[in-house]
Structure 1
């Protein structure tokens, strides 16, 4: 990776702020495990979403004040619930990187009101064909996060509708088995960060509590042509996907099924393709009207593309990231090595 790349500063700040946000989420998980919170519902998850979004946008906004943000959360719930606001503020105001020089490159809200306004920058933003927008999902995988399983903190820069960089922090990711598993988690460390820079490849590093640790380049995916070499990642619990059609597609192709890897968080499925042994993800929606949120895919798509995969809708069309807060022009999705992607598009057309 070239340090003189025009997006080198953006990548450094993005990697640092994602690492800091993952520390925040881990801190909350430890508190929940110790019974520090009174409620057993999803309130801690909500706090993590709000707090991580506030820390990420605060850092990026200081470094690049003219950029827009597209985030999932708004401050409405915090403004109407003083207890929730106080818990979120405590988490935001107490989370810092241990390395002073790295922390100095970032920024944090200085007051509760500033925190609320920063969160709303994400709620108000859109990605478009003109300008730059940072797309973020502060906690992708709500249900598995609260269970202490796999989740991701996601950030991507989209410029003029094109992904320029993507950073995914996976605090519980454990690579000892070579497969991602919801229940095989990193209990001793801080997981991994997977990131990509357009045109330069995808990279992997361990995460820590201070400055950024060394990284290495991820090897591109094998360019397979035989459907028997397909290795699916899917989600048994997903309510928006038609898994019966996924099974039918695999059978039509003569590909192995069921999927070897099952992950709830959408962005983690891209990570499974990058470093978890899988090489294909297909999403055939249950409803014709279904469209994905942009923060569930931006960044992860770039990582897959930088490793030699083609990402498209079910008809084989490129995914357009310039249509606001959703992938409005994208019905379903196919992510697979470019060498076999066309065969998958044709197979989907036949079974549909």
Structure 2
């Protein structure tokens, strides 16, 4: 199966969402506090509404498993926020009102199945709020295998951001968001230089998202001497895919060892790195399980590499 239509729809949906997110961010929005106390902005909801609406229109039988739930928006105290979201979304789709916004966001409350999409409307919300890196991450999963992945990274690079994307078996590509559709996509590859002294590794900005001491120790043990590149979101997958880093590691935080990763935080990035020639597993060398649950219950930690150093990382962890 070619998945050409799925890729085209996903790219256009993520481009719309990227434009909306940047408009919202230019106003320095205040965060809405979710039940779990993590920040979420008007852009998260607007992005999810646009993408879910487009995916549902084109593929009405495909469930969408997304991060946000509109129950936060239907509270009376959120009435003004809902109106603001409608206004932002209208700049991309004029046929919308408050009822439709809630309905479109609810399309993302689907369940994992044989074929489904998974979406993080803003991955790296804290980075978004502080005007740093974030990503809009969308992936199509069929029989547990990611077939299409798109990362819209509006703050990455110096020219209006980059889109990273891949289809299984067809390679990975990047293209400027600003000039998307008018320029030729660039085929991207992981770094293959065998001089490990030139390798960089990436990790999350938030120390609570991993075990930075252990991550730095493992990188040092395999010979990486440079300081880590710290970034929010799945932009780190893009770094590995385009050769700007050889490694991204995310080990469980020692204060929260029972934590399990969400599929929407890794599915899109994983296929892009793999199609660029890299490798993605958990810290035990197991492939990431996108088949059974929105949480990757069978996996612990994440290792994303150029492939060349992957076994070295796993061996260092055994010690």
TM-score scaled to structure 1, two decimals? 0.82
Q: Tell whether the 8 Å contact from 1:225 to 1:340 is kept in structure 2 after alignment.
A: no
Query: Where do 1:1-352 residues align within 5 Å?
Result: 6-32=2-28, 40-42=30-32, 45-80=40-75, 81-96=78-93, 110-122=96-108, 124-128=109-113, 130=114, 132-174=115-157, 186=158, 190-208=160-178, 212-223=181-192, 227-259=196-228, 261-265=229-233, 267-275=234-242, 277-286=244-253, 287-350=256-319
User: SS of the counterpart of 2:175?
Assistant: strand
Please report how far the alpha carbon of residue 120 of structure 1 lies from its aligned counterpart in structure 2 after TM superposition. Answer: 1.5
Please report how far the alpha carbon of residue 41 of structure 1 lies from its aligned counterpart in structure 2 after TM superposition. Answer: 4.3
Please report how far the alpha carbon of residue 238 of structure 1 lies from its aligned counterpart in structure 2 after TM superposition. Answer: 2.7
Taking the aligned partners of 2:205 and 2:99, their CA distance within structure 1 comes to 41
Which runs of 5 or more residues in structure 1 are unaligned? 97-107, 175-185
Post-superposition Cα deviations, 1:151-175, rounded to whole Å, max 9, x if no partner, equal 111111111111001111111211x
* Distance change (3 Å), C-alpha of 1:26 and 1:219: closer
Please report how far the alpha carbon of residue 31 of structure 1 lies from its aligned counterpart in structure 2 after TM superposition. Answer: 2.8
Please report how far the alpha carbon of residue 245 of structure 1 lies from its aligned counterpart in structure 2 after TM superposition. Answer: 0.7
> When the two structures are aligned, how many residues end up with a matched partner?
310
* Distance change (3 Å), C-alpha of 1:222 and 1:172: closer
Taking the aligned partners of 2:124 and 2:209, their CA distance within structure 1 comes to 15
Please report how far the alpha carbon of residue 274 of structure 1 lies from its aligned counterpart in structure 2 after TM superposition. Answer: 2.1
Post-superposition Cα deviations, 1:128-150, rounded to whole Å, max 9, x if no partner, equal 3x2x1111111111111112221
TM-score scaled to structure 2, two decimals? 0.90
Q: State the superposition RMSD in angstroms.
A: 2.1
Taking the aligned partners of 1:213 and 1:126, their CA distance within structure 2 comes to 36
Post-superposition Cα deviations, 1:190-236, rounded to whole Å, max 9, x if no partner, equal 32111111111011111238x73333233422445565453201124
Most deviating of 193-202 and 275-284: 275-284
User: SS of the counterpart of 2:73?
Assistant: helix
User: SS of the counterpart of 1:51?
Assistant: helix
Which runs of 5 or more residues in structure 2 are unaligned? 34-38
Q: Tell whether the 8 Å contact from 2:65 to 2:111 is kept in structure 1 after alignment.
A: yes
Please report how far the alpha carbon of residue 295 of structure 1 lies from its aligned counterpart in structure 2 after TM superposition. Answer: 0.9
Please report how far the alpha carbon of residue 276 of structure 1 lies from its aligned counterpart in structure 2 after TM superposition. Answer: 5.8
Post-superposition Cα deviations, 1:282-317, rounded to whole Å, max 9, x if no partner, equal 111123312111111111010000111111111111
Taking the aligned partners of 1:156 and 1:110, their CA distance within structure 2 comes to 25
Q: Tell whether the 8 Å contact from 2:196 to 2:224 is kept in structure 1 after alignment.
A: yes
Taking the aligned partners of 1:298 and 1:48, their CA distance within structure 2 comes to 21
Taking the aligned partners of 1:253 and 1:6, their CA distance within structure 2 comes to 39
